[in-house]
Structure 1
Amino acid sequence: MKPLTDKQSQNLEIVEKEVMQLFKSDTSGHSYDHIKRVVDLTARLVVEGADLYTTMMIAYLHDILDEKLDFGYDNLEDVYLEFGLEMDETFKDIEHGVLSIGYKGGYTVMEKSLEAQIVSDADMLDAMGAIGIGRAFYYAGSKGQPFHDSGLEGIVSDDIESYRNRKRNVIAHFDEKLLKLKGLIVTPKAKIIAVGRHEFLRKFYEQYMDELSGDK
């Protein structure tokens, strides 16, 4: 794998600093801590054939154009200009990678490059296991979604609009997304990590439902 150039290392340091400032006040489960976990997981998952610089840039920037967060950037060019980065020959690959990341209810899936797939797997892993459960409840609370409302039992989203806006219990997110992620993981190391995290999700879901029904 081609090592980073001095310029690329410098750019990554700039991006890390700028992203940390942007995301440090997030209260939706997409804070800089999430970004850093995805970056660290990405570094573990990188495989031969992937461009290291492109992969790590996508990891740092993967949420920056997410409409849920709305940082005010219309495109990645605006981000580069704001950060003082040169749009070199890697820009288009990074841009496409950033735009292709995100679950979006599973309704609008873009074809991914190898680099983007690695980051996507890291991002999905951070939505699984104990951390994924914590983030799901944290995000739901930030959006005013109920912990549990008996009148909303069984309600899940069925399109991208309802996935973004429909009022429903936080546990619905397990049916809509979290319990599906294991089947979407592609890269070899990520598949191994996903097994344990999925099992933790499954057991939590079963225990949660049993406690709601009064069985346990």
Structure 2
Amino acid sequence: MNFAEHFTPCDDIAMELAPYALGAVDDGSHDVSHLLRVWRNVQVISAQEGGDHRILAAATLLHDCVDISKDSPLRSSSSRMAAEKALGILSGLGWKKDTAGMVAHAIEAHSFSAGIEPKTLEAQILQDADRLDAIGYIGIARCFYVSGRLGRAIYDPHDPAASNRDLDDLTFAIDHFQTKLLRLSASFQTLTGSKLAAKRHETVQKFLRGLLLEVAADQNNI
């Protein structure tokens, strides 16, 4: 199965946008596998909630078309930059202005760090689909992958649970669970997304509890 066939019934859009979606992204947390997982999430949510599949497919394919490192000061602007780039791409391909604008809004609103309210159903679905990939087992894996790339420690050996210090996810990977991962499930937009998020939230909670018990077995600080 080629890349576009994964996006059936929107494989024609995938063929058209593949050159822009599959750029030189040196980040295993935002690679082809991530696109395919987000699209699967989109399909599951859309099957219950509705939404325009062509807008959703284009937004999924282009939502990470601008690659900004997690530790960059421009990170909170990455979704806006991706939306602007997507709008230019779609306009150049002859997409109608209103349709391209809906795709761009979904892309701009998907980001957690941007803090933009999704105003359309398609934007809500993309935001939920992308956030599902940040929690659960895959979210845990992605968290440690990114932290490793950025040279962050897994945890603070003196206070793993941050009981007597401020959380610092720029230094310790598991602090990111409390600063972001465990906050995500409360931010879902659709009923279907919320139900899926609740299950993945429990996975993250259970993992964090287990990890803290293991690393703090002889420290008595959790």
The TM-score with structure 2 as length reference comes to 0.76
Structure 1 residue 58, shift from structure 2 partner: 1.1
Structure 2 counterpart of 1:53, one-letter code: R
What is residue 185 of structure 2 aligned with on the other side?
182
The aligned amino acid for 1:95 is A
| Contact in 1 for aligned 2:45/2:193 (Cα 8 Å) | yes
Distance across 2 between alignment mates of 1:189 and 1:57: 21
Give yes or no for contact 2:86–2:104 (8 Å, CA) kept in 1.
Answer: yes
TM-score, structure 1 length as denominator? 0.77
Q: Distance in 1 between matches of 2:130 and 2:218?
A: 34
- Please state how far the C-alpha of 1:40 moved relative to its aligned partner: 1.2
Q: Does 1:98 align with 2:98?
A: no
Structure 2, unmatched stretches of 5+, are: 1-9, 71-77
SS of residue paired to 1:135: helix
Q: How far apart, CA to CA, are the structure 2 residues paired with 1:44 and 1:54?
A: 15
The one of 183, 193, 197 aligned to 2:196: 193
Aligned match of 1:163: none
CA distance in 1, matches of 2:36, 2:95: 23
2:123 corresponds to 1:123: no
CA distance in 1, matches of 2:49, 2:41: 16
Unmatched 5+ residue regions in structure 1? 1-7, 158-165
SS in 2 for 1:22: coil
Deviation at 1:78, TM superposition (A): 4.1
Residue 93 (structure 2) pairs with residue 85 (structure 1):
yes
After superposition, give the CA deviation of every residue in 1:85-115 in whole Å (9 maximum; x if it has no partner): 22313011111111111111xxx41121210
Residue 11 of structure 1: which of 10, 13, 30 is its match?
A: 13
1:135-161, CA deviations, whole angstroms, 9 ceiling, x for partnerless residues?
00001111111122436853436xxxx
Aligned-pair identity (%): 28
Larger deviation, residues 128-137 vs 55-64: 55-64
Q: Which has the higher contact order (CA 8 A, sep 6+)?
A: 1
